[in-house]
Structure 1
C-alpha cells in the first residue's frame, strides 16, 4: 500500500463502521513526516504516549479500538486528498512517499546515493530476502509450524551472517538469531500477519545481539578467532570501531540493502538522522580502507566477509522445541514464585496479631517514700558491745541437769 492509496482505504474503513484499515508501519512514518508532525504531536492528537506512536510506526504493536480510529483518521488527513489514477499510480507512488519534505531532509536525501542492487550472486549473502507473496501463501493451507519453518529456512542463514558483521562474534550471532526466532514463535499470531516477518525477526535479533549485558557474561569476555585474511580482519575491525548505532545503520543500508526510510524506521531514528549516520559511518570506514569509499565496493566487501564465515543456523524444529521448553520453564518458575509469595503472605496474616496491644507506660517515682538502703556501718558503741558479748558469753550459759525429787 502506498501513501497515495492510503486515503481512500482509510476513509472507506471509517465510513463503513468496521475497524479502519491502516497503512504499513513504514508508510505511517512517511505520512507523519510528510505532514511535518513530530511523534509528540501525533501522540497528543491521538491521546497516547510518544513511545506508543514509536511502536506503531515500527510495527511492533497495532492500535485497537478508539485509538485505532483516531490514528486512522489522522493518517487519512495527512494522506494526499486526491486518489491517483491507475495509469499514473507508479509515478505518484514515488512522489507521495516524499510529500512535503523539510528542506534539511531533502538536502540530505539528495546527497545519498541509490541503495546497492541485489542482482549479483556474489552479494546475495547479505541481501534482504523478499517476503512471500500473500496471495500464494493464502492459497496454500499451512499450519503455524510449517509457516514458521518456511520463514526460518528462508531468513535464518542470511540473518546469522548479518548479525556476525554486527557483533564480530560467531557464537553470539547464532544465539541472537535463535532467540529472535524463539521470540517470534512465542508471538507467532502477531508475526504471521506482519507485513515483513523477516524484518520483525531481524529487529529482535539485532536488539539481542547489541545488548550491553553480554559484556558481563563470563563466556562472552573471551575474544574469538579473527577472520582468516588480513583484508577481512581490517574490515571487521573498522566495523567494530564504529558506534553500535552507526554500525547497525550502515549494515542495514549498505549491507542488507534497505532503503533510507526503512532503515530509519528499523533503527527508530528520523530519516535525516539515519542519513547522517550512514554518511559518517562511510567516512570512518573509508579513512581506514580507502578502497571502500565507493558504496558498491563496500556492499560487495561486506557480502564477501559474511560469506567467508561458516555460520550455520540450527534446525528450525530444534529452535521451536527449545523455545517451548524455555517458555515452560519460565512459566513454572513464575508459578512457583507466585505460590511462594502467596504462602508467605498467608503465613504473615496467620501469625500477625489480631488486635492492638498498647505498650506499657514507663514507671514514675512516688513521692514521700524513703529510698531503699542497705545496712549501715557499725558505730564505736556497737563494736564495743559486740566485743563484750563475745567475751562474757563465749561459753554460753551453764548446762541444766535434770534431778529426781
Structure 2
C-alpha cells in the first residue's frame, strides 16, 4: 500500500512572513489551527513539520493568507501619460459679492463597536465540555475498550477541571489538561478491582474493528497511550512526550514498538496514515454518549461537598478522641504495686485439708504466745 502524498507547504521563512503580513500572532494562528503556540513556533523555525489533519489545516490557512496578500497588494503603476498640453487661461470674472459664512454642520459621531460579552465560569466550562467531551470519550474508548469506563473517566476529568477551574481556564491548552486527567483515570490499575471490570462488554460488531481493538488492548498501557495520542489524536512527538511525562527519545521508542506490534498482527495498518484513519473509524463507529454539562458540574459539586463533609467529620472525630485522651490520662506518676514476697516460716497457702505436723506445731506456738506483744519487763533488785 503506497503512502498518500502529503499536502505541500511553503518554506518555514515564507510561513512566518505570511503570518506577519496578515498581522497575526503565533497564539492567534495556533488557535485557528487548533495547536499550541509552541507548535507554531517549531513549524516556523523548521524544527518540526506538521502532519495529518494539522498539516492540512495549516496548509489551507497559509493558502488563504497568501490569497489575501495577493488581493491587498497594490497594482503596478501604469505607463506615464503623455505631457499634457497647456490649457487656455480663463478670462477674469467680475468680483463676486461676499457670501455669509456657512455654519459648520455637526459631524456624526462614530458608533462604538459593542464590547465582547464576558462569559461566566459556568458558561465557559459548558462551552469547553460541549466542544471536547464527545471526542475525548471516543479517544478514551480506544485506551480501555469499555464504553461506560470511557464516559466515566471523561466526566471525572471534567469534574476535576471544574474544581480547579481558575487554573484550567488560564492554561494554554485546557483540552490537553482534561485529556491527561481522563487518560490517567482510565488507565489506573485500581480499575481492575471494581466489580464492573469483571463483566466484559459486548465487542464491536465489525470484525475488523474488533480485531483492531483487541490489538490495541494487548499493548502495554504506556505504548497504547502514546499510539493513541500520536496516530489517533494527531499530536506531534514533543507534545506527546510532554503529556505522557516522558522524554522525546523514550516516546519515539514506545511509538515504534507500538506500531510494530500493530503491523505484526495487522499488516495493512503499517502505513501511519492508514492507521490514523482506522483509529478514527473505530472510535466513530461506536455509539458513545456524554452527559450534559450542567449534570457534570452538579455531580462535581456534590462530590466536592461529600469530600468536604467527610474531612470535617474525620477532623471532629480526631479532635474528640484527642480531648478524651487528655481528659482521662493520669496527671501524676503512680508507681506499680510491688510483687508479693514470701515470709519465712509461713507455709504456702494450700487447699483446705488435714494439717501436717509442722503446721500443727506452728499453730500451737502461735496460740501459746501473747497476742498483745511481749510481756512488760519490770526491774528487780539483786
Q: TM-score, normalised by structure 1?
A: 0.60
Give the deviation of 1:360 after TM superposition.
Answer: 1.7
Runs of 5+ unmatched residues, structure 1: 1-23, 31-88, 99-112, 122-137, 378-405
Give the deviation of 1:366 after TM superposition.
Answer: 4.2
Give the deviation of 1:350 after TM superposition.
Answer: 1.2
Contact 1:174 1:313 in 2 (8 A): yes
**1:203 paired residue number:** 180
Describe the superposition over 1:291-312 as per-residue Cα deviations: whole angstroms up to 9, x where unpaired. 1100000000000000001111
Describe the superposition over 1:129-185 as per-residue Cα deviations: whole angstroms up to 9, x where unpaired. xxxxxxxxx944010000000100110010000000111000000000000000000
Runs of 5+ unmatched residues, structure 2: 1-34, 58-114, 358-382
Give the deviation of 1:345 after TM superposition.
Answer: 1.2
Give the deviation of 1:197 after TM superposition.
Answer: 0.2
Where do 1:142-181 residues align within 5 Å?
142-181=119-158
- Matched residues in 2 for 1:231 and 1:279: separation? 22
Contact 2:126 2:294 in 1 (8 A): yes
Where do 1:76-115 residues align within 5 Å?
93-95=44-46, 115=51
**2:53 paired residue number:** 117
Change (3 A) 1:292 1:212: same
Give the deviation of 1:91 after TM superposition.
Answer: 8.5
Structure showing greater radius of gyration is 2
- Matched residues in 1 for 2:194 and 2:302: separation? 22
Change (3 A) 1:318 1:273: same
Contact 2:36 2:173 in 1 (8 A): no
**1:103 paired residue number:** none
Q: TM-score, normalised by structure 2?
A: 0.64
Given the alignment, which residue of 252, 260, 283 partners 2:260? 283
**1:375 paired residue number:** 355
RMSD: 2.8
1:330 is paired with a residue whose SS is: helix
Contact 2:43 2:50 in 1 (8 A): no
**1:329 paired residue number:** 306
Where do 1:167-316 residues align within 5 Å?
167-316=144-293
- Matched residues in 2 for 1:176 and 1:245: separation? 17
Contact 1:180 1:204 in 2 (8 A): yes
Change (3 A) 1:218 1:92: closer
Change (3 A) 1:337 1:278: same
Change (3 A) 1:114 1:279: farther
Aligned residue pairs, count: 263
- Matched residues in 1 for 2:267 and 2:346: separation? 104
Give the deviation of 1:119 after TM superposition.
Answer: 7.6
